[in-house]
Amino acid sequence: MLLGSPTLLGQQPAGDRGSGTAAAAGQASKASPPPGIYTLDAERLAKATRLERARNLLNIGSTLWGILFLLLILSVGWVGAIRDWAASMTPKIWLQGFVFLPALLVLLVAADLPFDIAGHHLSLAYGLSIQHWSSWLWDWTKSLLLILLGGTLALALLFAIVRRSARRWWFWFWLIAVPLQVLLIYILPVVIEPMFNPIEPLAKSNPALVEQLERVVTRSGLEIPPTRMFLMKASEKYTGVNAYVTGFGGSKRVVIWDTTIQKMKPDEIAFIFGHELGHYVLNHIRKGLVFSSAVILVFLLFAYLIVQQLLRRYGERWRIAAQSDWGAVAVLLLIFSVFGFVFEPIMNSFSRVQEHHADIYGQEAIHGLTADPQSTAAHSFQALGEVWLEDPQPSPLIEFWLYSHPSTAHRMAFAAQYDPWQPGRQPRYFPKD
């Protein structure tokens, strides 16, 4: 998690993850795997292995195709042609950007559409989604509009700064990008998320659950009012379970999917909530902001250094004379894409550490509230793994490079053996009874 919501669940975006069916969740609750060992029956294991392979191919394929596509449209002159077309529409440089940028962004989003379609098809084929194609297309359209609005404004601002400060634009834009990042996280739960899934106060439909969760909050010594607890009606599109912390400052909140309430036992929901409470208490969103701000600064600095070299070597071929040319947007996006792929293991490693700490906090938070916190946490991961068809033995390289959370097998193994209330041990976040 860097921007947005740390989740209890696994390594893929929530929209690309779901569960099979309510029956599958029921079977997960009845299963009795060896303590601490995440296992799947033969049928689920075969499906999970195929699904893992397909997800990884889509993930890596989409990233590499995005890089290659940017190289392609630069090499064949499409970027220069779009820039010339924008110039023919208006003589004013700043207005040309509002023609060029949306056209470029639409082209890039359209190029990735086959991967988006394949991802949703995969979710439907494995029972991870029940969202009809018309609904999915409407969500995709809304995402496109948000990209056009936010991307156009951000890139227009970037190039306004480039033209005013050719040597320090990377630093000045970073100073603006950090508060913009905070603003985005602030408005995400109150403006953007409700555009895709209905969200309502948890107390409206589940007052008894709110009382149960408040006991976990009380044990943590916090004051999180019910007004900060929300329910997402994910069952209209997804069949999986999920919970997450989102927002910043006054918009900070815990969100639980309605499918989580339908498919998980009360003690398991308490552990899930405790995990999310850990993100809340341990200031993971704030720490994530600091970390991502540092990453953005590095990205911008390297982009400044490399864009000059690329334009000196390929600028004539690409028909882009300088970094102040609107066409240089595509060059910067190319650099960001390459850096994003190379830096992904670093960013995911940071996220995995935070998720591990939240696991510890969640397990300690339910001590004394559930009969057996170790068994509750371990069984929760077993159930989640079965619902989401998580591979019990993912490639270590794939886990290192692509997973934003530790693998389900690692999380379950840790949960089963973690008992800091034993003699000679000490809890990390709570005083020993």
Tens of pLDDT along 122-181? 999 999 999 999 999 999 999 999 999 999 999 999 999 999 999 999 999 999 999 999
pLDDT band at 432 (very low <50, low <70, confident <90, very high): confident
pLDDT of amino acid 32: 53
Query: Distance of CA 287 to CAs 26, 167, 193, 280, Å?
Result: 37, 30, 22, 11
Integer Cα distance of 362 and 277 in angstroms: 7
* Ramachandran angles phi, psi of 330, nearest 5°: -65, -35
What is the pTM assigned to this prediction? 0.89
Helix axes 266-281, 207-220, angle to 10 degrees: 50
The Cα–Cα gap between 94 and 344 comes to 34
Structure tokens at 381: 């991961």
User: Residue 84: inside a domain, yes or no?
Assistant: yes
The set of residues, in sequence order, having a beta carbon less than 8 Å from that of 315 and lying 6+ positions away, is 321, 322
- Mean pLDDT for 55-65 is 97
Domain total of the chain = 1
Report the pLDDT value the prediction gives residue 221, as an integer from 0 to 100.
Answer: 85
What is 299-326 written as a DSSP string? Answer: HHHHHHHHHHHHHHHHHHHHT--STTST
User: How does pLDDT run across 383-422, given as a tens digit for each residue?
Assistant: 999 999 999 999 999 999 999 999 999 999 999 999 999 9
* Interval 86-108 mean pLDDT: 97
Cα Rg of the chain, angstroms: 23
3-state secondary structure of 264: coil
Q: Is residue 125 part of a domain?
A: yes
Split at pLDDT 50, 70, 90, the class of 99 is: very high
Q: Is residue 81 part of a domain?
A: yes
Share of the chain above pLDDT 90, in %: 89
- Answer yes or no: is 431 within a domain: no
Write out pLDDT tens, residues 294-341.
999 999 999 999 999 999 999 999 999 999 999 999 999 999 999 999
Whether the pLDDT of residue 192 is over 70: the answer is yes
Residue 390 lies in a domain: yes
Instruction: Give the position of tokens 């009874």.
Output: 433
pLDDT in tens, 202-219: 999 999 999 999 999 999
**What per-residue confidence (pLDDT) applies to 12?**
38
At residue 30, does pLDDT exceed 90? Answer: no
User: Is there a contact between 409 and 34 (Cβ–Cβ < 8 Å)?
Assistant: no
Tokens 């023609």 belong to residue: 99
Determine which helix (DSSP H) or strand (DSSP E) holds 194, and give its type and residue range. Answer: none
Q: Which residue has the higher pLDDT, 20 or 248?
A: 248
Residue 45 domain flag: yes
Is the pLDDT confidence value at 34 over 80?
Answer: no
pLDDT given at position 36:
85
Is the pLDDT score of 10 beyond 90? no
Tell me the average pLDDT of the chain: 91
Residue 374 — very low, low, confident or very high, per pLDDT cuts 50/70/90?
very high
Contact, 197 vs 232, CB < 8 A? yes
In a domain, 161, yes or no: yes
Contact criterion met (CB below 8 Å) for 274 and 365: yes
pLDDT higher than 80, residue 13: no
40 within a domain of the structure (yes/no): yes
Classify the C-alpha dihedral 262-248-215-409 as positive or negative: positive
Question: What local confidence, expressed as pLDDT, does residue 27 receive?
Answer: 40
Question: Is the confidence at residue 1, as pLDDT, over 50?
Answer: no
- pLDDT tens digit sequence for 266-284: 999 999 999 999 999 999 9
Reported as a pLDDT band with limits 50, 70 and 90, residue 220 is confident
Please compute the mean of the pLDDT values over residues 354-376 and round it to a whole number. Answer: 96
Mean local confidence (pLDDT), 36-43 = 94
Query: What pairing do the DSSP bridges indicate for beta strands 229-232 and 199-201?
Result: antiparallel
Please give the residue range of the domain that contains residue 224: 14-319+327-417
